[in-house]
A and B are shown apart, each in its own frame.
Chain A
């Protein structure tokens, strides 16, 4: 018998005044996994996290932790700990008191408690800060105390609600690395909430993308980037070109799509989806997959250069194709330069890089 997943949520739904904040959410998290919830502001990430933590009851659905149904258990009886979006550091206790809080609650003996607090302070590189008061800490230090306070409890699953949101870019990046390192060291699962797609891609084993309370796709970062299952996921992660078209037929493993400005294009079927002729579809391609050339190539169309944005290691270029209603975004690597005076390039979209999404 295989062991159950560490966390499993099924059909979880939470409504606020009849408006669903989380709708029919379901996924599992494995032991030791770094799992992220990614989505725009207000999509229900915090609500989902609070459901798992036990702070609010779901209207529908079930939560299993380590195979046990904990749906109706209060937070103090779940083997889960939380790093709150606001940190929620106790202002009346010093750093050591904050970290020891949960251990005292368990009745851990004083010597053992002391040892674990010292250990935790070391883990977050704040050794010697035990007697400091919370107001004497910087935002980043406070965040680490919140992390240590949850970690000393040795939970099976740690919930983190945008813990790096309040930090500047530099500190955030170093904390991302530190957090990932700590997670590997202690070996517990993380359920990590963020609205920053780069952060999610950089840190996670798997990501659940949410929108309007629904989980759109659960996959590893590479799959999410290369094979998003919907337009919403594709547009939320990275930059993507979208074109509308109509299926006009199929050709073996590919369907032929008619795009207004590009003409007919064979697109790989990408899974078992059956696109009947006449279906309206969205064709998507990443800017870096669009190839540009100064001379016409088979299947290429002429694109008039609309703008070039210099980004340091590369340039982003926008081109108008055909009627020019929908610009094509492409990436020009530094070593590929455009001849001075050139105002057009030949744009082609390699069939293997094109994604077919149902509208």
Chain B
């Protein structure tokens, strides 16, 4: 072994424990899932001959496509909104805050409560006898509680934003924190006012953080199961609910597996597209 190879090998050695865990908890189940998606199931009997039947079933039913696209749209909206809300917070902490650590700690406070409880909180806020309705009634703005607040895609987006926005603050903060303040001084020196400085220096240099935030939120949001179950209603159902149904009541594991694999593929593709798109857009800023 040359020293360089030995050096690299030692690096991989460090990865081994994590790799071993991942092999059992990630790779094996994923492989099984992939296999299942090419199998068929008749009652309790699983037919392990390889076929594309499950994928054909997905394509033939526009209901799947609807839920699928709705999931991606909801997740995209939630991620973008979370980023828009988180960016100013991250900017403040990186450039203006004195007690940075304290602010970062405050940002993580929502995580001190379980995600489930936070979703329930939104039910309490948006529900029939909820905070908003009580308020409206007390002000005599409505006679009977309004019902359009809960059990729809908007409620899902709202809850997802609240749940995931803190995840956006951290990567954006890290990328902003790395920006050398003298670059902003140089931009001012060369004639840029504060707004131009932001769009020409700060934004392109923090794009990696924005992309990280998007990926970090978009992936789990697309596959979120709890939120649509609790606040989504029939019109707010997402792909995870559908997948869960296949493994549960519908008892069609190959179809569930095919849906999961399709989702993974679509989300990965979209993340790559979004990341390259954002990076290219940033590099076009001059």
Contact = CB atoms under 8 A, between A and B. Distances in A.
Contacts of B283: 92
B286 A75 contact: no
A82 interface: yes
Contacts of A74: 188, 193
A12 B53 CA distance: 81
B277 to A, nearest CB: 16
Nearest to B282: A92
A102 B188 CA distance: 9
A106 B286 CA distance: 13
Interface in B194-214: 196, 200-201, 204-205
Contacts of A100: 286
Interface residues of A, number: 26
Given A86-B180, A92-B204, A104-B286, A81 B188 contact: no
B282 A88 contact: no
A76 B191 contact: yes
Interface residues of B, number: 20
A334 B121 CA distance: 91
A76 B204 contact: no
B56 interface: no
A101 B189 CA distance: 10
Contacts of A104: 286
Contacts of B186: 82, 84, 88, 90, 149
Contacts of B191: 76, 102, 105-106, 153
Interface in B180-237: 180, 182-183, 185-193, 196, 200-201, 204-205
A76 B192 contact: yes
Interface in A149-164: 149-150, 153
Interface in A63-83: 74-76, 80-82
B86 to A, nearest CB: 21
Contacts, number: 66
Contacts of B189: 53, 55, 75-76, 80-82, 102, 150
Nearest to A146: B186
A81 B185 contact: no
B185 A88 contact: yes
A246 B103 CA distance: 64
Contacts of A80: 189
A93 interface: yes
A102 B286 CA distance: 10
Given A105-B196, A106-B191, A84 B282 contact: no
Interface string A149-190: 110010000000000000000000000000000000000000
A303 to B, nearest CB: 52
A86 B180 CA distance: 10
Interface in A102-137: 102, 104-106
A190 B241 CA distance: 69
Contacts of A97: 286
A105 B192 contact: yes
Contacts of B193: 74, 76
A74 B188 CA distance: 8
A340 interface: no
A129 B180 CA distance: 24
A153 B182 contact: no
Nearest to B193: A76
A92 B192 CA distance: 17
Contacts of A312: none
B192 A86 contact: no
A88 B188 contact: no
Contacts of A153: 190-191
Interface in A26-74: 53-55, 74
A170 to B, nearest CB: 27
B176 to A, nearest CB: 14
A271 interface: no
B182 A86 contact: yes
Nearest to B188: A75
Given A88-B183, A90-B183, A92-B282, A81 B205 contact: no
Q: B180, B183, B186: which has the most chain A beta carbons within 10 Å? A: B186
A272 interface: no
Closest 4 CB pairs of A and B: A102-B190, A105-B191, A88-B186, A88-B182
Interface of B: 180, 182-183, 185-193, 196, 200-201, 204-205, 282-283, 286
5 contacts: A76-B190, A97-B286, A100-B286, A102-B189, A105-B196
Given A81-B189, A82-B186, A101-B187, 6 more contacts: A75-B185, A80-B189, A84-B186, A88-B180, A90-B201, A150-B190
